[in-house]
């Protein structure tokens, strides 16, 4: 009887201990989970997020611009984000991109979207990009004195530039002409990087405009090359820089390539010759690595920055391995759809 009672008491004690242990583990998991999601939310959210049809001036840039390094990230397809400018700057991205359409020749409005069927009048370049970019630059330069160079978007590196890449999805020349009107407010305040074609002098502003995308015969290479004060630059084809050079030679342009093309980009498949579905897991192959290295070398010898888009995206471990290899090879702008994982990866590297 005593043994049975003792065993019962012992069993109850064990059960109670197990229950306490289980509760502790559940509490620990809850704390870890809450901490993770809270941290993630702080990284990817901002204060007083308005809707696109409200004033973006309500944004609290002091929160977005907390001291952080400028990361070699190109925020790709960022028009799909709630607030593309702020979401990119929140993690310190060095480059953003707008997919732009001009549907009405008589209307200066430029619409934003990757595909024509998603376009709406509410999603336009002014509301999504122009207003927040101008508001931020005005805010960080409100105490600027005459003769001082304007500050940029990154408090840790106020002299650096943000690349704003414009992908003209239709009518590139018309988009270019309308873009010139859009950029007037920025240029008057000294916010744009420019190259004076008569004096050969550079002015490095906090915002650098690049037209990107395919280079069809309708791409405004001649118009950009013909600017006296060049405030828009070309994203050259990384897989074939000579194609852009041939266009410039045809127009009789004798300037250095990097005074017209500041950046270059191409798809992963064009650079490596490997179709995405055939890419092996675990990072770049030796052949892929060598082909990318040679492309980077050619661009860097011309003084042009590099980017590769449409890189393998899944599974995450493979995507990260490709990113690591590209960074090791010296890529200048890592083309990224998922901002937070890319930022985490860069922070984990010893040079960040």
Q: Given pLDDT bands bounded at 50, 70 and 90, which one contains residue 256?
A: very high
pLDDT of residue 282: 84
Average of pLDDT values for 98-111? 95
pLDDT of residue 62: 61
Average of pLDDT values for 29-43? 38
| Rounded distance between C-alpha atoms, residue 324 and residue 329, angstroms | 9
Compute the half-sphere exposure of residue 48: CA atoms within 13 Å on the CB side of its CA.
11
Q: Given pLDDT bands bounded at 50, 70 and 90, which one contains residue 30?
A: very low
Residue 163 phi/psi, 5-degree rounding, is: -80, 125
Highest mean pLDDT among 31-35, 62-66, 82-86, 254-258: 254-258
pLDDT of residue 63: 57
pLDDT of residue 16: 53
| Rounded distance between C-alpha atoms, residue 325 and residue 328, angstroms | 5
Q: Given pLDDT bands bounded at 50, 70 and 90, which one contains residue 226?
A: very high
Task: For the chain, give every domain's residue range.
Answer: 45-348
pLDDT of residue 276: 75
Percent of the chain with pLDDT over 70: 80
The 3-class SS string of the chain reads CHHHHHHHHHHHHHHHHHHHHHHHHHHHHHHHHHHHHHHHHHHHCCCCCCCCCCCHHHCCHHHHCCCCCCEEEEECCHHHCCCHHHHHHHCCEEEEEEEEECCCCCCCCCEECCCHHHCCCCCEHHHHHHHHHHHHHHHHCCCCCCCCCCCCCCCCCCCCCEEEEEEECCCHHHHHHHHHHHCHHHHHCCCECEEECCCCEEECCCEEEEEECCCCCCCCHHHHHCCCEECCEEEEECCCHHHHHHHHHHCCCCCCHHHCEEEEEEEHHHHHCCCHHHCCCCCCCHHHHHHHHHHHHHHHHCCCEEEEECCCCCCHHHHHHHHHHHHHCCCCEEEECCHHHHHHHHHHCCCC
pLDDT of residue 165: 98
Average of pLDDT values for 144-149? 91
pLDDT of residue 53: 34
pLDDT of residue 82: 77
Q: Given pLDDT bands bounded at 50, 70 and 90, which one contains residue 281?
A: confident
pLDDT in tens, 282-322: 889 999 999 999 999 999 999 999 999 999 888 999 999 99
pLDDT of residue 80: 77
pTM of the model: 0.83
CATH 3.20.20 corresponds to the domain 45-348: yes
pLDDT of residue 292: 98
Q: Given pLDDT bands bounded at 50, 70 and 90, which one contains residue 83?
A: confident
Cβ neighbors of 338 (< 8 A, separation 6 or more) are 319
pLDDT of residue 66: 66
Q: Given pLDDT bands bounded at 50, 70 and 90, which one contains residue 64?
A: low
């Amino acid at each position: 009887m005593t043994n049975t009672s003792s065993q019962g008491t012992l069993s109850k004690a064990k059960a109670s201990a197990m229950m306490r242990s289980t509760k502790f583990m559940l509490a620990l998991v809850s704390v870890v989970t809450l901490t993770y999601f809270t941290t993630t939310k702080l990284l990817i959210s901002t204060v007083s997020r308005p809707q696109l049809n409200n004033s973006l001036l309500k944004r609290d840039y002091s929160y977005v611009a907390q001291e952080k390094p400028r990361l070699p990230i190109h925020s790709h397809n960022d028009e799909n984000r709630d607030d593309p400018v702020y979401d990119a700057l929140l993690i310190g991205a060095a480059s953003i991109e707008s997919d732009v359409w001009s549907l009405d020749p008589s209307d200066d409005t430029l619409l934003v979207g990757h595909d024509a069927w998603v376009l709406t009048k509410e999603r336009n370049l002014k509301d999504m990009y122009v207003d927040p970019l101008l508001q931020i630059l005005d805010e960080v330069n409100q105490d600027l004195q005459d003769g001082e160079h304007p500050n940029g978007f990154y408090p840790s590196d106020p002299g650096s530039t943000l690349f704003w890449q414009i992908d003209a999805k239709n009518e590139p020349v018309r988009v270019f002409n309308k873009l010139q009107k859009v950029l007037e407010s920025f240029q008057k305040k000294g916010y744009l990087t420019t190259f004076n074609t008569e004096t050969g002098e550079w002015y490095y502003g906090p915002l650098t405009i690049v037209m990107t995308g395919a280079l069809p015969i309708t791409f405004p290479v001649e118009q950009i090359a013909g600017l006296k004060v060049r405030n828009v630059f070309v994203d050259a084809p990384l897989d074939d820089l000579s194609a852009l050079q041939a266009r410039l030679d045809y127009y009789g342009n004798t300037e250095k390539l990097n005074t017209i093309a500041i950046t270059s980009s191409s798809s992963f498949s064009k650079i490596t010759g490997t179709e995405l579905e055939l890419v092996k897991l675990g990072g770049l192959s030796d052949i892929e690595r060598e082909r990318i290295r040679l492309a980077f070398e050619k661009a860097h010898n011309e003084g042009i920055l590099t980017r590769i888009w449409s890189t393998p995206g899944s599974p995450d471990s493979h995507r990260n391995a490709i990113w690591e290899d590209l960074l090791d090879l010296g890529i200048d702008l890592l083309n990224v759809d998922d901002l937070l994982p890319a930022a985490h990866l860069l922070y984990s590297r010893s040079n960040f």
